[in-house]
Chain A
Amino acid sequence: MPSTREERPTKEKRERRYPPFWERAVPVAVGILALAIVIMIVVIVAVALGLFPGSG
């Protein structure tokens, strides 16, 4: 007699997944963009303070 556990799909099986490429690519892209935002904010503040070349 099959157990209830076998009849019901496990939680892992029901979890939504993106295709493998996007599972890996999305967090990498988000990380790079988050870093780019931080860099741009630093640059913008530097320009505002006149610390950047050509900003004077």
Chain B
Amino acid sequence: MRATNIWLPWTSSLLSVVFAGFVLRRYTRRKGLHLLLWGIGMIMYAVGGACEGYYGAFGWQPLVFRLWYLFGAILVAAWLGQGTVYLLARRRWAHVLMILLLAGSLYGAARVFTAQLEPAQMTSSVHTGSELSGHAIVTPGVRVLTPFFNLYGTVTLVGGAVWSAWIFWRKRILLHRTIGNILIAAGAILPAFGGTFSRMGVPHALYLGELLGALLMFVGFLRATTPMGEQRERARAGRARDART
């Protein structure tokens, strides 16, 4: 049972690092703030997973807990969602929301790093303590921040991917992007459901949700960025033409 709490989050973390590498490599080639923010978001995902793996392997450590809560519980969904905002919304609105997110993130970081911690609280209520939980934060006004960030992240990341898939489907264009966006949306919502089941006392639900979520988002990203069939042939022909000229 304990081993599961080690390898599940470590695998999530490793997968997220690889995923972030793919996204950031695409950013260096094509630019686009959405790619940069997705890359940063996946690094946060990796930090969260690594902290969970550390807790499973070595036990409680206040700094590791604070890093996990800040990046893994508060910020990751919102920063990934902000990438989608840059992709879909008007640039001016995206900038305004980015400034708000940045300010909120700094405030959240200050609150998390000054909060009083009580690890014994993680075994309270229906929690078993086998997974990291925000219950360890006893200072009021810190955990209340999390739902706001997660609400923003869910609406923008999952909602944006579903919206994109729907638009592509209605126009019957770019099937690979339709499929990719559906996979990204499904992957993005899995950690949230995992967290919910974890709160209900289902063991490993959070870590399993995070691993499957990272995997689905990665596959979705690869699908969305790889044309299929005729489009692939056209893309290949275009690259060959470019190489000749």
Interface residues of A, Cβ cutoff 8 Å to B: 15-19, 22, 26-27, 29-30, 33-34, 36-37, 40-41, 43-45, 47-48, 52-56
Q: Which residues of A contact B175 (CB under 8 A)?
A: 18-19, 22
Report B233 CB to chain A, min CB distance, Å: 16
Asked whether B186 lies within 8 Å of A54 as measured between CB atoms, the reply is no
Q: What does DSSP make chain B's interface, helix, strand, loop or mixed? A: helix
**Cα(A48)–Cα(B193), bound, Å:** 16
Asked whether A41 lies within 8 Å of B189 as measured between CB atoms, the reply is no
Is there a chain A Cβ closer than 8 Å to B165's Cβ? yes
Specify which of B126, B146, B151, B201 is in contact with A45 (CB 8 Å cutoff): B151
Asked whether A16 lies within 8 Å of B171 as measured between CB atoms, the reply is yes
| Binding-face segment, B25-33, B60-68, B155-163, B235-243 | B155-163
Number of B interface residues in the complex (CB < 8 A)? 34
Asked whether B125 lies within 8 Å of A53 as measured between CB atoms, the reply is yes
| Binding-face segment, B42-50, B94-102, B108-116, B177-185 | B177-185
Q: Using CB atoms, name the residue of chain A closest to B175.
A: A18
Report B182 CB to chain A, min CB distance, Å: 5
Report B2 CB to chain A, min CB distance, Å: 21
**Cα(A45)–Cα(B125), bound, Å:** 19
Interface residues of B in 134-171 (CB under 8 A from A): 135, 144, 146-148, 150-151, 154-155, 158-159, 162, 165-166, 169, 171
**Cα(A18)–Cα(B178), bound, Å:** 10
Contacts A22-B178, A34-B162, A54-B127 known; A44 to B150 CB distance under 8 Å? yes
Specify which of A18, A26, A34, A45 is in contact with B147 (CB 8 Å cutoff): A45
Is there a chain A Cβ closer than 8 Å to B192's Cβ? yes
Contacts A37-B158, A37-B159, A54-B126 known; A15 to B199 CB distance under 8 Å? no
Q: Which of A15, A34, A52 has the most CB of B within 10 A?
A: A34
Specify which of B125, B165, B189, B200 is in contact with A40 (CB 8 Å cutoff): B189
